[in-house]
Amino acid sequence: MSKRRFRRPKLPTEPVTLAITALSHEGRGIAHVDGKVAFVDGALPGEQVVASYIGRRAAFDELRTDAVTLTAPNRVEPRCAFAAVCGGCSLQHMESSAQIAFKQNFLLEQFEHSAKLSRSAFTILPALQADAYHYRRKARLAVRMVQKKGGALVGFREKYSSFITDMDSCQVLHVSVGSLIPALRELIGSLDACYDIPQIEVAVGEVDATDATAFRVALVFRHLQPLSSADERALLDFAELHALDLYLQPSNAESVHRVYPAVGSERLHYHLPDCGLTLAFHPLDFTQVNASINRLIINQALAHLALTETDRVLDLFCGLGNFTLPIATRCAHVVGIEGSEQMVQRGMENAELNGITNAEFYAANLCESLTDKPWAQQAFTKILLDPPRSGAIEIIQQVAAFRAGTIVYISCNPATLARDTAELLTHGYRLKSAGVMDMFPHTTHVESMAVFERID
C-alpha cells in the first residue's frame, strides 16, 4: 500500500490589499481574507497594506507587508536597515510608547483571562524603560558560510526562517559587538574551519563601576571539528587585536575553555551601583541581557519588598544572586535557591566577592516538592520569585504555605504569571500591583513584575 505524500498547498502569487484591525501577541497585524484570519508581518492596527503570502495553514494565512498604503500614527522608520528581514527584532516599525502599551495590554489581558482579575482590581505599575538601542549584552549569533552571499554570514536568523540574515551591523546588540559583525564575517571566511563553526556566543561585561564607557567582550566560538593551528592563530590574533576574551567550545567536549588572555579569571562583571555590588559571571552563565533595565527591576523589587533589618527572605530561581545579594544588603538573612549547582557556586562566589555573610545558597529542583529540604523548614517574611518561562506552578502552593507577608514575582511570560496568580489567589493572597519592564525593546517579549500581599 503506497503512502500518500503530504504536499504543502501552493501559495497565491498575487499580493493582496488588507485592512489591519488588531495586533497579535506575536506582534503581527491581524486581517481577514475571505473570512479567514491572516497574520501580517510588519503591519500595524489601523493600516492598509499590500502584502504577499509566505505561508498557509488550515486556520490562518501568513503574509509579509510589501507596502503601506494607509499609515498608522504610531509607525516609525526602523533605525536598522535589516529590521524587515531579521528575526532579532519584530517591532522596530512601532513607536516605543506604543510597544509598551501593547505589552502592558497583553499582560492585563492574561490577568483577565486566567486570573479573572479586572484592570481595576490592582495598581498598574509605571512601565520601566531605558535605552531602546544597543542594549543587548548577551546573544547567540548564528554562523554559516554561504558562497552565493559572498562568504560568511554572522547574525540573527531571518524571520520565520532558518536562514541567517545577511547583515553587517545591529542596532540592538551592544555597540562593542554590533560593530564587530563585518570583522567576524571576514574572520570566519578566512578559516579552514569556516564550514564547521555554527555559532558564536556573545557576552559583554563592565570593566569599572565608575566608568560607564569601559566594557569587556567575550566571544565563545563553537566548532564542530578540531581547529587547525593556523585557525587557532587567526582567532588569537583577532582576540588580541580587538581586546576580546576568546573561548573555544568543541562539540565533542563539555568543557568551554578560554584561550585568550592566557592568564586571569574566566569572569566578566556587571555592577549594581545603587546597592554597591559587583557580580561576576562566566560568559555562558545566564544573566539579564539588558543591564539598565535589570538595575531598574532590582530597585523596583526592593522598593516593593520594603525590607527591614529583621526580614528573612527566600529568593527562588536565584541564579548567580542577581536579586539575592541586593536583598542581603537590606535584611537580616536571605536564602537563594537555584536548580543549577554551578549557579549556586556562582552565587556563593559573588557573596564572597562582595563581603556578604547573611546570604545562603542551595541547589534544588524547583519543579518538585520542597517540603523535605532543610532550608524550607525556616520561616520567611518575604519571598521573591524569578522563574523561567514555564513559571512556578509546581511549587506555588508550597510558596504560599510559607505565609510570607509579601511576594514579588518577576516573570518573562505573562501567560504563566497569570496562571500562577490564579493559584496564589486561592491560597490567601491578593494581587496588589503589576506592570511591565521593557527588557527586550522592539520585540514582543514581555517582562513583568507582580506584587502580592497576604490577606489572611
User: Catalytic residue positions?
Assistant: 412
d(CA 260, CA 233): 11
Q: Could you identify the residue written with the cell 528581514?
A: 85
Secondary structure element (H or E) that encloses residue 68, with its range = strand 60-70
Q: What is the DSSP string of 109-149?
A: HHHHHHS---TTSSEEPPPB---SSS-B-EEEEEEEEEGGG
30 closest CA partner among 16, 45, 17, 15: 45
Query: Are 166 and 153 within 8 A, CB to CB?
Result: yes
What cell was used for 183? 570583522
Secondary structure element (H or E) that encloses residue 152, with its range = strand 151-155
d(CA 343, CA 435): 28
List C-alpha distances in Å: 286 to 282, 289, 343: 9, 9, 9
- Using DSSP's 3-state secondary structure scheme, residue 221 falls into strand
- The angle that helices 181-190 and 229-241 make with each other, rounded to 10 degrees, is 160
Give the sign of the dihedral formed by CA 282, CA 207, CA 259, CA 266.
negative
Secondary structure element (H or E) that encloses residue 232, with its range = helix 229-241
What cell was used for 237? 590574533
Q: Is 400 exposed, middle or buried (0-12, 13-18, 19+ CB in 10 A)?
A: buried
Q: Regarding beta strands 244-250 and 257-260, do their DSSP bridges make them parallel or antiparallel, or are they unpaired? A: antiparallel
Give the sign of the dihedral formed by CA 40, CA 41, CA 46, CA 50.
negative
List C-alpha distances in Å: 112 to 108, 143, 425: 6, 42, 13
d(CA 308, CA 321): 19
